[in-house]
Chains A and B, each alone.
Chain A
Amino acid sequence: MASTYALPPLPYAYDALEPHISKQIMELHHSKHHQTYITNLNAALKTQAEAVHTSDITTQVSLQQAIKFNAGGHINHSLFWQNLAPASSAEAKSSAAPKLVKQIKATWGDEAAFREAFKAALLGIQGSGWGWLVKIETGKEQRLAIVTTKDQDPVVGKGEVPVFGVDMWEHAYYLQYLNGKAAYVENIWNVINWKTAEERFLGTRADAFKVLKTTI
């Protein structure tokens, strides 16, 4: 039997990120877009389980892209909801992430320079995709990097821990910001959950992806 994934509840109300992200966007994004990735993922996994059972390797291979895309959509959105928080909350202040901020400063000089670099990466995405702050562990060393991914490709490389991500699909901002995506990228800083970011930065990959386990 293949696992069946379910939509994780948002850790806040649909209107909790206003005025930076509208209630209408959040509701569609969570209840429709994210749900569709999960529905399609479950369907692909079910077909895959059957193909494994019948040793149908061509079907298994042909399903890989659908699984990557829809599982990626599920992983990315699950992480995204958790790394956002209402602007008025303590979590939305970078002071909630002292150790992470220390490494950000060591890497980019100061927070402002980091935000500029992150913004440039987000605005440079050609088409749909995501921007992530990623902790990369190589042996005993660890470093931070800004990484962009296309479409729904998730950050799942060896030693990579996604610290926080920003969705740059047009559905993430269009109803409110229209073609003004620079304003969305500017405003998203008001609702980044630095407490979650700090936890992911200090934790392991398994900790970061825990949210996915709870929804099986």
Chain B
Amino acid sequence: MNSTLLRTTTVRSALRAAAPTASTRAGLAGTTFVRGKATLPDLPYDYGALEPSISGKIMELHHKNHHNTYVTSYNNFSEQIAEAAAKNDIQAQIALQPLINFHGGGHVNHSLFWENLAPTSKGGGEPPSGKLASAINTSYGSLDAFKEKFNTALAGIQGSGWAWLVQDTQTGSVQIRTYANQDPVVGQFRPILGIDAWEHAYYLQYQNRKAEYFKAIWDVINWKVAEKRLQ
């Protein structure tokens, strides 16, 4: 995951170090900015590959525009927070933290989301097996019962957000959790499978009928990737 999320762009970093921009501490900032920059990962399938569950137009806008904006903004605010750190400006760093959380979270969430989807011709929708299947059966009784609980969680999100199947790193058990806006799954929980419940994820195709989107997306869930994330 880290390799996709933080691909170091050496060329760009080098350029930046050589030609620091208008900063009051250009010299300091120049060295601070030699760091990995987030880049938009390629989709592992074509934009139209998840039809009819998710239209090609939604996938294209979602990946090329929405996700890319999170990447660009994350890099921008990362630079600003690095600059603030270099100046020991604690207030500025704190003020930037919600923006790092939001845009960094948007980048992390979407990167995981693309990977945990797959066209039906490439195994999308094929039920999980092994350890993950057992964990779901233990916690929810059956895959169908799990999907129903997951869809109820998705439908219950008040505003923008995500629902995730997560693994508790303390107990190893799995559970469904919802997260507001772009809050990423970090800390005690490990992301296994995520579904985007922002309106931009479905509105062009499903409008206000979001329950239909939640039902259809299971046909393109990549359970193989989810299995690999479970530890």
Contact = CB atoms under 8 A, between A and B. Distances in A.
Interface string A106-133: 0000000000000000000011110000
B182 interface: yes
A181 to B, nearest CB: 10
Interface stretch (A79-87, A135-143, A171-179): A171-179
A151 B200 contact: no
Interface string A12-28: 00000000000000001
A32 B200 contact: no
Interface string A139-181: 0000000000011100000000000000001110011001100
A43 to B, nearest CB: 14
Contact of A170 (B65, B158, B182, B200): B200
A179 B69 contact: yes
Contacts of A36: 208
B203 A175 contact: yes
Given A126-B98, A127-B180, A127-B181, A151 B158 contact: yes
B65 A69 contact: no
B77 to A, nearest CB: 12
A128 B203 contact: no
A65 B204 CA distance: 29
B159 interface: yes
Interface in A27-81: 28, 32-33, 36, 65, 69
Contacts of B199: 128, 169-171, 174
A160 B19 CA distance: 50
Interface size class of B (residues with CB under 8 A): 20 to 34
B207 interface: yes
A148 to B, nearest CB: 13
Nearest to B200: A170
Interface residues of A, number: 20
Given A32-B208, A33-B208, A36-B208, A128 B160 contact: yes
Contacts of B65: 178-179
B158 A69 contact: yes
A170 B62 CA distance: 13
B159 A170 contact: no
Contact of A174 (B180, B182, B203): B203
Interface string A169-197: 11100110011000000000000000000
Contacts of B207: 28, 32, 171, 175
B14 interface: no
B181 A175 contact: no
B92 interface: no
Nearest to B62: A179
Given A170-B203, A171-B203, 16 more contacts: A32-B207, A65-B158, A69-B158, A126-B102, A126-B182, A129-B159, A150-B159, A152-B158, A152-B159, A169-B199, A170-B160, A171-B207, A175-B203, A175-B207, A178-B204, A179-B61
Interface of A: 28, 32-33, 36, 65, 69, 126-129, 150-152, 169-171, 174-175, 178-179
23 contacts: A28-B208, A32-B208, A126-B98, A126-B102, A126-B181, A127-B161, A127-B181, A127-B182, A127-B198, A128-B160, A129-B159, A152-B159, A169-B159, A169-B199, A170-B199, A171-B208, A174-B199, A174-B204, A175-B207, A178-B65, A178-B204, A179-B66, A179-B69
